[in-house]
Structure 1
Amino acid sequence: MTSATDETIVASATLPHMSTSHSRMLLAAASVLGVVALSACSTRPASSPAPTSTGAPEWHASDVRPPEGRVIGTGTVLDAAGDAQLCLGAVAESYPPQCTGIPLEGWSWDGVDGSETSGDTTWGTYAVYATYDGTTLTVTDPPIMLALYDPIRPEDPTGGVDGATSEADLTSVQDEVSAALGQDALTVWTERGYVWVQVAWDDGSLQDAVDEEHGDGVVIVTSALREID
């Protein structure tokens, strides 16, 4: 690339054959061209900052403050020999099905439709009203079959704005979050420029932890249990 100095030398060599005004104009033009050339050499396209990461987020499900009132959770109620649990995440497609969920206290099949039984296992899909102490759900109201349940659409925590994180960075963050949370994460996926994480219940501390770890607007945390009181 021709430098500003080279342009000035060329202009100076022609000065004896030109008028003073023409010489000054040529020198000024050469200086401008030199500045533009140097700017073009030094300018590079800006890139979006990548999410930061210094390790696993400092968060433990056992430290989360439980909700104060009732919650509602939807999923599979699996009762194996009298031990009932609400499975909020994945359910193995076996017969009978298998899953790991939150223990249910006060559950009864009396008057509840929509169940199926095989051996000593009874199951069905329901919306369950309960209180939650961080480890156990205590039933407070009759359940509703999911086929008849009309949930209220939750608010979009992103406000409808898509994220700006690249697909490569999202994949990396998704892997880190999945490894860090293990079974505490019901599901982890990427969508609309974010990594989405669903846990049984977050009091806001997990969202704070992933924001501190990966930056704001990269990971969105949602709770499977929804407060209704």
Structure 2
Amino acid sequence: MRTLRLVAALLSPALLLACGTGTGTGDGDGDGAASDPGPATSAPSSPVPAATGRVSTPQLALVMDTGRPELCLGPVAQSWPPQCRGLPLAGWRWSEHPEHEEQDGARWGSFAVTGTWDGERFTVQEAVPAARYDVPGAEPTATSTPGSTVRPSLSPDELAVVAEESALLPGWRSAAVVDSQVLVDVVYDDGSLQEWADQRWGRGVVVLLPLLSGDRAP
């Protein structure tokens, strides 16, 4: 089970993104190095995709409230109280979830949360506190399977650039180079973000791992 990871400092998605001016595009079959996709595959202009049905956190997540409730997905600062860059959380009442901590006006707790996602806000329908969460959680479902396709052979330096450029993706949370691929945590993907990543960098180079799992748009 993936557990909530506390890191020493918040990771900032504010990366220097280098965009070339060429017009070549990937063919989607992974037959060559990743190239500048040009205007046709510029950064997605739409926000994070919405889900058509219920979604859930496939692991325990931190609910943080320093003035408004937020659902923390991704890195959390190891401070007291903790800090994170969270999603707006609707329908949350602390009186219904007493299993939490308080400090200096902040409230927080770890929960497995189920609800709906409209692309901007998570609306809670059910929350199981960490103390009662004894069913192993599943890993986030990749929208592309690591290692499953023939992909361009990129150098470590090229993969590092791709990892930085992946911050273009709506809902980006973090990226890491693993076994010659770039694994990217995003809030949610209905398949369109993975399709864009395949077009930009070549199929199989970037694998998206949505932090909310559930139904995809048709």
Is this a same-fold pair by TM over 0.5? yes
Shift of 1:66: 1.1
Q: How far apart are the structure 2 equivalents of 1:213 and 1:204? A: 14
Residues 1:137 and 2:126 aligned together: no
- Name the counterpart of 1:50: 33
Matched position secondary structure for 1:58: coil
Contact kept in structure 1, 2:89 and 2:124, CA below 8 Å: yes
Pair 1:159–1:201, CA change in 2 (3 A): closer
Residues 1:191 and 2:174 aligned together: no
- Name the counterpart of 2:195: 208
Q: How far apart are the structure 1 equivalents of 2:139 and 2:74? A: 19
- Name the counterpart of 2:21: none
Contact kept in structure 2, 1:52 and 1:213, CA below 8 Å: yes
Pair 1:225–1:113, CA change in 2 (3 A): same
Residues 1:80 and 2:63 aligned together: no
Q: Name the structure with the higher helix share.
A: 1
Contact kept in structure 2, 1:72 and 1:226, CA below 8 Å: yes
- Aligned pairs for 1:165-180 within 5 A: 165-178=154-167, 180=168
Which amino acid letter does the alignment assign opposite residue 36 of structure 2? S
Pair 1:159–1:197, CA change in 2 (3 A): closer
Matched position secondary structure for 2:165: helix
Matched position secondary structure for 2:35: coil
Matched position secondary structure for 1:148: coil
Aligned-residue CA RMSD (Å): 2.7
Contact kept in structure 2, 1:72 and 1:228, CA below 8 Å: no
Pair 1:226–1:218, CA change in 2 (3 A): same
| Structure 2 unaligned blocks of 5 or more | 1-30
Q: How far apart are the structure 2 equivalents of 1:111 and 1:75? A: 17
Q: Name the structure with the higher strand share.
A: 2
Q: How far apart are the structure 2 equivalents of 1:184 and 1:227? A: 16
Pair 1:61–1:189, CA change in 2 (3 A): farther
Which amino acid letter does the alignment assign opposite residue 80 of structure 1? T
Shift of 1:228: 6.5
Which amino acid letter does the alignment assign opposite residue 52 of structure 1? S
Shift of 1:111: 4.9
- Name the counterpart of 2:134: 148
1:82-130, Cα deviation, whole Å (9 max, x unpaired): x101010211222211212111111122353542110211101111111
Sequence identity, in percent? Answer: 33
- Name the counterpart of 1:29: none
Contact kept in structure 2, 1:71 and 1:226, CA below 8 Å: yes
When Rg is computed on C-alpha atoms for both structures, the one with the higher figure is 1
Give the structure-2-normalised TM-score. Answer: 0.70
Contact kept in structure 2, 1:113 and 1:145, CA below 8 Å: no
Shift of 1:194: 0.6
Question: Which structure is higher in RCO with an 8 Å CA cutoff and minimum separation 6?
Answer: 2
Q: How far apart are the structure 1 equivalents of 2:83 and 2:135? A: 23
Which amino acid letter does the alignment assign opposite residue 64 of structure 2? L
| Structure 1 unaligned blocks of 5 or more | 1-47
Contact kept in structure 2, 1:70 and 1:131, CA below 8 Å: yes
Q: How far apart are the structure 2 equivalents of 1:120 and 1:128? A: 23
Shift of 1:166: 3.0
Q: Which of 63, 68, 71 is the aligned partner of 2:52?
A: 68
Q: How many residues align?
A: 178
- Name the counterpart of 2:28: none
Shift of 1:141: 1.6
Residues 1:107 and 2:107 aligned together: no
Which amino acid letter does the alignment assign opposite residue 137 of structure 1? F
Q: Which of 109, 112, 117 is the aligned partner of 1:124?
A: 109
